[in-house]
Amino acid sequence: MSRSAHPAGPRHADVLTEGHYSAPAADLNVLDEKVWSRTVTRDADGALTVGGIGVARLAEEFGTPAYFLDESDFRARCRAWSEAFGPDADVFYAGKAFLSRAVVRWLQEEGLHLDVCSGGELTTALDAGMSAERIAFHGNNKTVAEIERAVEAGVGRIVLDSFQEIVRVAHIARSRGVRQRVQIRVTVGVEAHTHEFIATAHEDQKFGIALADGQAAEAVRRALGLDSLELIGIHSHIGSQIFDMAGFEVSARRVVQLLAEVRDEHGVELPEIDLGGGLGIAYTSDDDPREPHEIAKALSDIVTRECESAGLRTPRISVEPGRAIVGPTAFTLYEVGTIKPLEGLRTYVSVDGGMSDNIRTALYDAEYSVALVSRTSDAEPMLVRVVGKHCESGDIVVKDAFLPADLAPGDLIAVPATGAYCRSMASNYNHALRPPVVAVRDGEARVIVRRETEEDLLRLDVG
């Protein structure tokens, strides 16, 4: 494709008074390390490299669009989380963010546990050799068949989400002569400061059993009364992409209060609490995420303090980060296609993917960054909207960003921080073929989830 300069779109100066985008970075060629995975850098020619491999080679070998996952960064983040929480806590990676058999093996090697929330995730975990006792099984509507498989596999815990499920799991465990370890998921009534669709601790939603009105205490009463259940603790997940630790602190305090009530009523000190996942990551330079050691310290301090004042032994803490581990470790590589400048507004840059590989912008108004990565450019910044090739105008990948004004069809651009909830929420809309996930490490790249093919599409369409 032509690399000639495209007729420049509107310059940022024309439109800076409108919209809610940040001003362009002083130098668009500089990659902000906050949003890119750790081994990303530019080579001498200005092209982005990850794990020592340049994007031109990656695009040629694996095609675009594609997700490139920085394996050593993923492993380093796993280690940072488990070291931050130490031997008296457990880190469960939330597989819904992104799961594949390679990821399961990395988790095992790095000593993490795994949270699964469907039969499909459970199968992937077991197939890749995850030990069942390191698996937690979640979900607000687990099917009987899923519960049966989880119990038969011997998962380390099932997180009970409703009164009906307490009975269902107890019955299935009893019929198999098993005493199933369980936690009860409670909603603590915290309004997490995040998008409505990913906030989960307020009461008016489908997950968990409310602490309010003694509902959770009643659930504990019932679970303790069933021999086939071993109630090991209480679980609370307040939502996702949260930066403010205050919500976690309130949640921890309320869960410890419930432990104290349980001790007073039943003479039992439940040994574990799980504070869920939800820690935010940097999608743009404006985001300032906390480091795992700060999070671990804040959570363990509050639990220890609350337990001391309630006269409880400090329970074992577990957490379930998904996004905070995998999110920053991958970027999506796209090839630029049609460029449509709109005088006085912005320039629409179409890429070869879109809402089928990243639905988060359309669904949650999520913000992303973007950079020209096949080369550097000294052209001035132009305000762009990066859009996909799908048949709807909400098909936006990056709503407002700046790219060099000499951007041309055939250039490669990349959107960082797409490791979480992009491939796992990808769709076949418009019969798009879901992109591959390529793991890159120490100069080697290998496909861990292959690109979908038209044969895959036709195989499901049985006529």
Residues 380-419, mask of contacts with ligand LLP (x by CB under 6 A)? ----------------------------------------
- Shortest approach of ligand LLP to residue 381 CB, angstroms? 28
Q: Is 391 a catalytic residue?
A: yes
Angstrom distance (rounded) from CA 420 to CA 324: 8
- Binding-site member from 70, 165, 320, 335 for ligand LLP (CB under 6 A): 320
- Shortest approach of ligand LLP to residue 358 CB, angstroms? 9
Considering the complex, state which of residue 95 and residue 315 has its C-beta at the smaller distance from ligand LLP: 95
The CA-atom distances, in angstroms, between 398 and each of 8, 367, 374 are 19, 7, 18
Contact 115, 156 (CB under 8 A): no
- Residue 72 tokens, joined: 């050593």
Point out which span in 150-158, 275-283, 294-302, 367-375 binds ligand LLP (CB under 6 A): 275-283
Residues 164-223 contacting ligand LLP, CB under 6 A: 198
Task: Mark 26-58 as b/e (b = at least 16 C-beta within 10 Å).
Answer: eebeebeebbbbbbbebeeeebbbbbebbbbeb
Task: Mark 350-385 as b/e (b = at least 16 C-beta within 10 Å).
Answer: bbbbbbbbbbbbbebebbbbbbbbbbbbebebbbbb
- Binding-site member from 254, 346, 360, 390 for ligand LLP (CB under 6 A): 360
- Binding-site member from 138, 389, 434, 441 for ligand LLP (CB under 6 A): 138
Residue 321 interacting with ligand LLP (CB under 6 A): yes
- Shortest approach of ligand LLP to residue 427 CB, angstroms? 13
The CA-atom distances, in angstroms, between 7 and each of 14, 18, 364, 383 are 16, 23, 33, 14
Give 200-256 as a DSSP string.
-SSSSSSSSEESGGGHHHHHHHHHHT-TTEEEEEEE---BSSB--THHHHHHHHHHH
Residue 70 interacting with ligand LLP (CB under 6 A): no
Point out which span in 44-52, 315-323, 385-393, 396-404 binds ligand LLP (CB under 6 A): 315-323
- Shortest approach of ligand LLP to residue 429 CB, angstroms? 16
- Binding-site member from 323, 385, 389, 434 for ligand LLP (CB under 6 A): 323
- Shortest approach of ligand LLP to residue 325 CB, angstroms? 8
DSSP state of 174: H
Catalog residues that contact ligand LLP under the rule CB under 6 A. 94, 96-97, 115, 138, 198, 237, 240-241, 276-279, 320-324, 360, 364, 420-421, 425
